[in-house]
Amino acid sequence: MLHRIATVAEIPVGKSREFVAAGRMVAVFNVDGSLYAMDGVCPHAGGPLGEGTLTRSVVTCPWHGWQFDVTTGRHCLNARITHPTFPVSVVGDEVFVELPDDKPA
Ligand code: FES
């Protein structure tokens, strides 16, 4: 289901923000003007990925430093770990994220 979560201005280039939508934390990243959304809860120990540091397309979790490519959800060192990503669309100045209907456990 499509959820409006922000305006474009709320997510500046090179930054990330976290939002709550459909009962889940969603991290949204602005990589050179393109927006990407990922599950906002780090799979390591639940850290807030939306509060991480974004370097190009890589976010570093603020808790213990796990790194993910936000365009794919892939962990940068462990190919077996892929974190869920969600499609993003922009209509006018509003940002929408397509989230699964099932809620996270
Ligand atoms: S909780 Fe994200 S690296 Fe540990």
β-strand pairing of 85-86 with 88-91: unpaired
Residue list, ligand 1 pocket, CB within 6 Å: 42, 44-47, 61, 63-66
Length of the chain counted residue by residue: 105
Q: What is the pLDDT of residues 62-98, one digit of tens each?
A: 999 999 999 999 999 999 999 999 999 999 999 999 9
Task: For residue 56, give the DSSP letter.
Answer: T
Calculate how far, in angstroms, residue 43's C-alpha sits from the geometric centre of ligand 1.
7
Reported as a single tens digit per residue, the pLDDT across 26-75 is: 999 999 999 999 999 999 999 999 999 999 999 999 999 999 999 999 99
Q: Which residues constitute the domain of residue 93?
A: 2-98
Could you tell me if residue 104 is inside a domain? no
Residue nearest to atom 4 of ligand 1 (CA): 64
Q: Domain of 71: which CATH number?
A: 2.102.10.10
pTM of the shown model: 0.95
